[in-house]
Amino acid sequence: MFELLRNHRRWMQFILLILIVPSFFLVGIQGYESFIRREPELATVAGQPITRSEFDMAHRNQLEQFRQRLGSQFDPALVDTPAMREQLLNQLIDQRLLAQVAIDNRFSVSDGTLRNTIAAIPQVQDNGRFSPERYRQVLAAQGMTPTSFEAGLRRDLAVGRVLEPINQSAGAPDAVVASLESALTQQRTVQLRRFAAADYRAQVSVSPEDIQTWYDGNKQQLTVPEQVTAQYLVLDEAAATQGVQVKEEDIASYYEQNKNRFGQPERRRASHIMIELPAGASEDARKAAHAKAEALAKQAAADPAQFAELARANSQDAGSAGKGGDLGWLAPGMLAGPLEKSVFGLAKDQVSGVVESPSGLHIVKVTEIQPAAIKPLAEVRDEITAEIRKQIAATRFSEMATKLTEIVYDQRDSLQPAADALGLKLRTASGITREGLLPADQAGADAAASGPDAQLLDNPRVRQALFSPDVLRDKQNSGVIELSPDTMLAVRVAQVQPEHVPPLDKVSANIRERLLDERAAEAARKAGTAALDGWKADPATLPEGFGASAVVSRQQPGQLSQDVLNAAMRLPAEPLPAYAGVNDGNDYVVVRLDKVEAGASEASARDLLARQLGAAWGQAEDAAVLKVLREQYQVKILPEAASALQGQDQSAG
């Protein structure tokens, strides 16, 4: 057969051509391109694509960074949203765009700039100076070579030069800074009149028909999401220490082996006279200092009782001279070499000779000695017992964790065998959803939100495990979830309650309270606006019912809520007095403005404000430049991006 093909190769090529060419006319060349399955393209920059695989890689890196930063609180549902994915795609587009601009404009970075940038990286420095050895070690740990790292850094620095002129010149105009500073520091004297909704609650009513009408028109708001009732086991330090007994002989043995932990070493109180002797002193200066110290040492030794007076008059240690040279209580290891040897070698009230240290020359006197002491066993029994129990618990915890892992995997349809084998209590909690824990009034009995383990069950990793296919659909045990080094959980779905709207009788009381609140708030608003209209008509007269005057500013709002403060600060400065009304929760508040005064801020605060505004201004200018560059380089977001932004798998469909 193969011999035939070799001998008639030209004929076979002709036959294949006849078979293939008509198929082009039938399905088209584009059909062959789609057959090859080209990489999906999400966007193009100057005709160059950003592919789905590039986006997916960046997306995985981003999620991993969130996971490392948030630890056990990492919840993909909160950070992996369409808005976050859209932001990521725009970042990739901007990076590609700036790189293309840098290439087109031949932006480059000199070798000197590259060297200086690398040398300034703290991780590659040793004692503040660039270390070639550490540089290579750091790169090797990241799986990189100096050549590849420097090429990437040179490219990044070149790209950074695209927006560098904008960033260097960015700064908010002085007039803008001054205007904002004035708005932040301006002080206003106001009085408030509150129309509280609670005062009008008795004047409104809600009928059963009102409740039914609201229920029929707002079922969307009443919808309770899919929830599960979970069985779970908690393995923690309390579980591992349960039933642990500590023997008396173990306590005694521990005490004997660790006596140094339960005692206090010998301490001494000392005083000194110090004569300064700089490290670079000349020979003459050294001789003079030693002569002075020797003379003082002789005086002190001749009359130790006068040591404090000698220290006050002659010691050059400003910290202790005024206290007669007193250094306080000293323990072994607190002083250096010769000084420590001298202090712990003297008897009480004995004076040393001249002792030299890096700080100068010293004459030392020991004033008190407190001998080493060991606490009796009776005083430290509880401490030792707790320590031994903790050590036993650590060993038991490790053993129990291993056993728990084995059992929950071996018997996937129940947690009871693991509970029985380890002596753990099988617990139950309801009202757990994908997004969190339902309030107790919605969850019913054993509500997780009101239980002692609410924080554990609301952990994103626990909720993610409960709603994984095997656990949710097949009612199998989850794996062991390690929430912290000393806390582990295993969970199982006992019951699933689908998304539903509660019947009217279950929610009518809540609806009634809601309608009463709304109608009382509306009555308060109507009363407040009617009074406000009258006060505006006669602003000069101070009406009754207003509270005491208060001076407020945007930086110092006092007791004002944000809505009330905004109303007060937005009133025109003239004519005065002026009035404004605003809803404050269910209440209605009327603000009377009596006085407006210019404020002032310190120079440091003004400089900080200018820097903050400059940074914001620079970001706005960067965004404007990127918008223009996107148009110039014909950036297009392609239809394929929609599925990526929604988080759909590219193999779907």
The CATH number for 154's domain is: 1.10.4030.10
User: Vertex 461, ends 455 and 466: CA angle to 5°?
Assistant: 95
Do 415 and 452 fall within a single domain?
Answer: yes
Read off the pLDDT of residues 305-345 as tens digits, 9 standing for 90 and up. 999 999 999 998 888 888 999 988 888 878 878 888 888 88
Residue 323 sits in a domain whose CATH number is: 3.10.50.40
Do 154 and 231 fall within a single domain?
Answer: no
d(CA 343, CA 351): 9
Q: Answer whether residue 608 is part of any domain.
A: no
Q: Tell me the sheet residues that pair with 348.
A: none
Residue 169 pLDDT grade (very low, low, confident, very high; cuts 50, 70, 90): low
Do 49 and 154 fall within a single domain?
Answer: yes
**Cβ atoms of 204 and 516 closer than 8 Å:** yes
Average pLDDT value for residue range 546-556:
90
Task: State in Å, rounded, how far the first CA of the chain is from the last one.
Answer: 42
Q: Answer whether residue 284 is part of any domain.
A: yes
DSSP, residue by residue, 537-569: HSTTS--TT----EEE-SS--TT--HHHHHHHH
Say what the pLDDT of residue 17 is. Answer: 39
Q: Answer whether residue 622 is part of any domain.
A: no
Q: Please state, in angstroms and as integers, the Cα–Cα distance from residue 11 to each residue in 7, 18, 23, 103, following that order.
A: 9, 11, 19, 51
Domain end (from 468, 497, 526): 497
Q: Answer whether residue 502 is part of any domain.
A: no
| Structural domain count of the chain | 5
Q: How many residues does the chain have?
A: 653
- For 202, which DSSP code? G
Say what the pLDDT of residue 197 is. Answer: 95
Read off the pLDDT of residues 381-412 as tens digits, 9 standing for 90 and up. 888 888 888 888 888 889 999 999 999 999 99
Domain range for 296 is 263-374
Do 555 and 491 fall within a single domain?
Answer: no
Say what the pLDDT of residue 72 is. Answer: 66
Q: Which helix or strand (DSSP H or E) is residue 116 part of? A: helix 111-119
d(CA 592, CA 528): 13
Residue 514 confidence (pLDDT) above 90 = yes
Say what the pLDDT of residue 3 is. Answer: 43
Q: Answer whether residue 583 is part of any domain.
A: yes
Do 485 and 570 fall within a single domain?
Answer: no
d(CA 88, CA 68): 18
Average pLDDT value for residue range 459-475:
91
Structure-derived torsion over alpha carbons of residues 512, 518, 523, 529, reported in degrees to the nearest 10:
180
Task: Answer left, alpha or beta for residue 226, where phi above 0 means left and psi between -120 and 50 means alpha.
Answer: beta
Nearest alpha carbon to residue 312 among 323, 296, 327, 304: 323
d(CA 647, CA 119): 41
Q: Answer whether residue 250 is part of any domain.
A: no
Do 441 and 536 fall within a single domain?
Answer: no
Do 463 and 560 fall within a single domain?
Answer: no
Read off the pLDDT of residues 572-591 as tens digits, 9 standing for 90 and up. 988 989 999 999 999 999 99
Average pLDDT value for residue range 191-198:
95
Read off the pLDDT of residues 57-111 as tens digits, 9 standing for 90 and up. 888 888 888 888 877 677 776 778 888 888 999 888 888 888 888 888 787 777 8
For residue 352, the tally of other CB atoms under 10 A from its CB is: 22
Q: Across the chain, what does the average pLDDT equal?
A: 84
Say what the pLDDT of residue 501 is. Answer: 93
**Cβ atoms of 266 and 377 closer than 8 Å:** no
Do 115 and 130 fall within a single domain?
Answer: yes
Q: Which of 104-113, 180-189, 621-630 has the lowest mean pLDDT?
A: 104-113
Residue 622 confidence (pLDDT) above 90 = no
Do 395 and 491 fall within a single domain?
Answer: yes
Q: Answer whether residue 58 is part of any domain.
A: yes
Do 53 and 157 fall within a single domain?
Answer: yes
Q: Which of 206-210, 256-260, 524-528 has the lowest mean pLDDT?
A: 256-260
Average pLDDT value for residue range 157-161:
74
Do 99 and 70 fall within a single domain?
Answer: yes
Do 12 and 75 fall within a single domain?
Answer: no
Read off the pLDDT of residues 589-614 as tens digits, 9 standing for 90 and up. 999 999 998 877 777 777 777 777 77
DSSP, residue by residue, 131-149: -HHHHHHHHHHTT--HHHH
User: Vertex 508, ends 506 and 509: CA angle to 5°?
Assistant: 95
Q: Answer whether residue 629 is part of any domain.
A: no
Which amino acid is present at 430?
S
Say what the pLDDT of residue 5 is. Answer: 38
In sequence order, what are the residues at sequence separation of 6 or more whose Cβ sits closer than 8 angstroms to the Cβ of residue 184?
553, 554, 555, 599, 601, 609
Domain end (from 345, 374, 403): 374
